[in-house]
Amino acid sequence: MLSNDQVRQMALALPETEEHDHRGRPSFRVSKKIFATLWPDERQAVIKLSIADQTALVTADPKTFSMGPWRHQGWTFVNLVKVSEEVFSDLLEVSWRELAPQRAIAVLDAR
């Protein structure tokens, strides 16, 4: 089970990530583009994935991953009570890498 603070720390550990409000919820952005939002009261996050990754995750583990109204764009709900820290961290990085500039990716890869 991931806490809201853990999600925030994981997201902000990615280079050039900033936290901003998005419709009353924390969002995490790189290059001014959202790659994840945190829904603290619902104990879930929403991350942007490829449609193929989204479909595979929802099919394999529908208790942890689900689709919402923005599914056609790859936005995927993640149940923070069910997901492991390792899996969530990996998916968060995948989402971030799709939007991050090459200089930020180079910083992460150098760690």
Strand runs (DSSP E) across the chain, as ranges? Answer: 18-22, 25-30, 33-39, 44-48, 65-67, 75-79
Model pLDDT, residue 70:
82
Predicted pLDDT at 68: 85
Return the domain boundaries, the chain: 4-104
Model pLDDT for residues 3-35, shown as the tens digit of each residue: 999 999 999 999 999 999 999 999 999 999 999
pLDDT tens for residues 38-92? 999 999 999 999 999 999 999 999 999 999 888 888 999 999 999 999 999 999 9
CATH class of the 4-104 domain in this structure = alpha beta
Tell me the CB-side half-sphere exposure of residue 98, using CA atoms within 13 A: 17
Please give the model's pTM, rounded to 2 decimal places. Answer: 0.93
